[in-house]
Amino acid sequence: MMERPTRNLGFDLLRVTESAAMMAARWMGRGDKNEGDRAAVDAMRLMFGTVDFRGRVVIGEGEKDEAPMLYTGEELGTGNGPEMDIAVDPVEGTTLLANGRPNAIAVVGLAPRGSMMDPGRSYYMQKLVVPPGARNAVDLDAPVSDNLASIAKALGKQVDDLVVFVLDKPRHRTLVDEIRRAGARIQFHTDGDVNGALMAAQGNCGIDLMIGTGGTPEGILAAVAIKVIGGQILGRLDPQSEDERRHLEEAGFDLRKVYSVDDMVRSNDVYFAATGITDGPFLKGVRYESHFVVTHSMVMRGSTGSLRYIESHTDLDKLMQISALSYH
C-alpha cells in the first residue's frame, strides 16, 4: 500500500520568502538598507503567523533587545503542527539591495527542533563550500592549493578551470594571493554569503567553490539547503574581535573544531526556500508589472531531495493588502 504523502512545509515557506522579497524590492537602489530590511522582516513575520507549525528562531535578526522581530529565540507559527528550528535572512544582501546590485535574496530554512546548530554569539566563520562531486575531496586544514587540486580532480577539471567565490574583504588578501598562485580564477563579491554558498553547492552557476570567512548565521542557513543539494560546507568559528572570541570561549565553543554540513544541521527532514529580490545567477529579481508582481523562487525538501524553481504572479492589489497589514 502506498504511503500517504506528508505535507510539504516548503510551500508555506515559499509564501513567506515571496512576501518578504516583494516588499523589500520596493527599496531597491534607494540607498536605505534598514528600510528595505524592515519591510522584509515585517512581511515575513506576518506570513509566518499563518504557517501551521511551532517554530523557534535559531538563526535570526539578532538578540531580542536589538531586533524587535524575528529575533533569536522568538516563537513563530500558529502553534499547531511540528516543532521546528528556523533560520531566516529576510534580506540576504541588504547593501546589495540598497545599492541596486544583483544577488539580494530572501531566505528561510527549517529543521526539526533541536537539530540546527546554535552558534551563540559567533558572528564569523571560516567556510569552504563545494558541490556534490567534490564533497569528499576537501579538508579545511589543508593548504588552499591542495584543496583546489583535489576539487579540480574530483570535478574532472584543471585547477585553472576553477572559479572561486570570494568576498572582497581586506581579511582575504592572503587567501586571494594563495588562490592566484595556485592558478584558479576568482569571482569577487562584496556581500552575499548564502548566495555564494548556494552557487557553489549547485555547481551549475559558474562557481566551483566558495572559500573564506563570512557570517556564521549565513553558513548555518546555507547548510540547510546544502543538506538537500548534497554538497558540502566545512566551517570553523573565526572570531574577528577579542569580544567575540571571549564570548565564544566562555560559552565553551572549541575554536579549533571543524563543522561539516551534518554538524550544522543534524537532520535530513529539512525545508528551504529562497526568493530573488534583485537579479542573480539562479533567481531573477522581483518585477512589477501594471497589475501583478512576478517573483522567482527555489523550494527544497530534504526528505524527498526535491528542488523546484517556481515563477509566481501575484495580483498587485493583494500585495498592497500585505503591505497594509505589515505596517499595523
Domains of the chain in start order, with CATH, are: 9-113+269-321 (3.30.540.10), 124-264 (3.40.190.90)
Residue 37 labeled ligand binder: yes
169 in a known ligand binding site: yes
Q: Annotated binding residue at 133?
A: no
Q: Is 83 annotated as a binding residue?
A: no
- Percent residues over pLDDT 90 in the chain: 88
In this model, does residue 6 exceed pLDDT 70? Answer: no
Enter the C-alpha cell of residue 124: 564569523
pLDDT score at 282: 87
Q: Mean pLDDT, to the nearest integer, of 135-162?
A: 98
What is d(CA 226, CA 229) in angstroms, rounded to the nearest whole number? 5
Above 80 in pLDDT, residue 322?
A: no
What confidence score (pLDDT) does residue 2 get? 44
How far apart CA 1 and CA 236 sit, in angstroms, is 46
pTM over 0.85: yes
193 is in an annotated binding site: yes
Mean pLDDT of 95-103: 96
pLDDT digits (tens, 9 = 90+) for 165-208: 999 999 999 999 999 999 999 999 999 999 999 999 998 999 99
Distance CA 123, CA 240 (A): 8
Is residue 170 annotated as involved in ligand binding? yes
269 assigned ligand-binding residue? no
Q: Please state the rounded mean pLDDT for residues 270-286.
A: 96
Q: Any known ligand binding at 254?
A: no
- Neighbour tally for 9: CB within 10 Å: 24
54-68, 77-91, 184-198, 231-245: the lowest-pLDDT one: 54-68
Known binder of ligand: residue 94? yes
